[in-house]
């Protein structure tokens, strides 16, 4: 699929008034048509891996302009302990600042036909999807967290205006399903936004076909993916 999808590495500006780097990098995938609605793709704790780039390519094949920002500045791992350490070194505020820059950059591209973006993320990235929805207001019209965990998960969802579609596992050792159900109700109660959560007879990271945890479930992954793509097409404005 990536061979048929125009893609490139890209650099964008992040808030120069804040502490930290003023630029960041990412992976940009364009649809064959050259234009489409914008979607931010947010990595798992492993980094900007080939799997996440493939997710961006798959979205481009569906007609989206997909940007996967590199939250780790080029670092990638396939070791769980190292991934946890890398995630712990990314403060929630820094992740939010980088994603805000990615959102503004995506919306500035001539290729992007939408006035808002969608956001889809996995594991740590799922947590940051919810943070984006809470912090970016009307710039984010569709938020799709897959088993979101980590420091990005916000304490309050008062700022969420985006429609939210969650994908969570009933046998998730990283984020118990009871917590996911509580999160669903909290978002609905605090934001008043449209919230739909789907629960799967699967384990954490069931969508990741690189299968780092041995929990990949192709059937559940395809079902969740089809739901997510349809949702993004319907909700990004």
Buried b (16+ CB within 10 A) or exposed e, 7-34: beebebebeeeeeeeeebebbbbbbeee
pLDDT at 3 over 60: no
Calculate the average pLDDT of the chain: 94
Mean of the pLDDT values across residues 230-236? 98
Q: Which of 4-18, 33-47, 128-142 has the lowest mean pLDDT?
A: 4-18
pLDDT of 22 reads 85
- Residue 153 CA to residue 162 CA, distance in Å, equals 16
pLDDT category at 1 given cuts 50, 70, 90 is very low
Identify the CA nearest to 108 among candidates 234, 13, 8: 13
Mean pLDDT of 209-217: 96
Task: Name all domains of the chain by residue range, CATH numbers in brackets.
Answer: 2-235 (3.40.50.1820)
pLDDT tens-digit readout, 47-76: 999 999 999 999 999 999 999 999 999 899
Residue 2 has pLDDT above 50, yes or no: no
Q: Model's pTM, two decimal places?
A: 0.95
CA–CA dist 62, 32 (Å, integer):
9
* Closest among 144, 57, 69, 59 to 105, alpha carbons compared: 69
Residues in the chain: 237
**Which residue in 199, 74, 85, 201 sits closest to 147, CA to CA?**
199
Q: What average pLDDT score do residues 138-158 get? A: 95
CA 172/CA 48 separation, integer angstroms: 22
Per-residue pLDDT for 87 more than 90? yes
pLDDT at 17: 63
> What's the pLDDT score for residue 18?
63
């Amino acid at each position: 699929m990536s061979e048929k999808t125009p893609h490139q590495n890209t650099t964008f500006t992040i808030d120069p008034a804040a502490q930290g780097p003023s630029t960041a990098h990412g992976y940009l995938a364009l649809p064959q048509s050259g234009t489409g609605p914008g979607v931010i793709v947010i990595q798992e704790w492993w980094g900007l891996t080939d799997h996440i780039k493939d997710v961006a390519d798959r979205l481009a094949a569906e007609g989206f302009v997909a940007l996967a920002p590199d939250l780790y500045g080029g670092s990638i791992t396939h070791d769980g302990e190292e991934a946890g350490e890398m995630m712990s070194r990314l403060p929630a505020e820094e992740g939010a600042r980088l994603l805000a820059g990615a959102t503004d950059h995506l919306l500035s591209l001539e290729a992007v036909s939408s006035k808002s973006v969608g956001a889809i993320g996995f594991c740590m990235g799922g947590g940051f999807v919810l943070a984006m929805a809470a912090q970016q207001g009307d710039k984010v019209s569709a938020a799709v967290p897959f088993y979101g965990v980590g420091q990005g998960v916000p304490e309050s969802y008062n700022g969420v205006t985006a429609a939210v579609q969650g994908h969570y596992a009933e046998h998730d050792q990283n984020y118990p399903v009871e917590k996911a159900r509580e999160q669903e109700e909290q978002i609905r109660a605090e934001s008043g936004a449209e919230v739909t959560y789907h629960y799967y007879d699967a384990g954490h990271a069931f969508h990741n076909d690189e299968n780092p945890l041995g929990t990949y479930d192709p059937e559940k992954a395809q079902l969740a993916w089809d739901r997510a793509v349809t949702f993004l097409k319907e909700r990004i404005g």
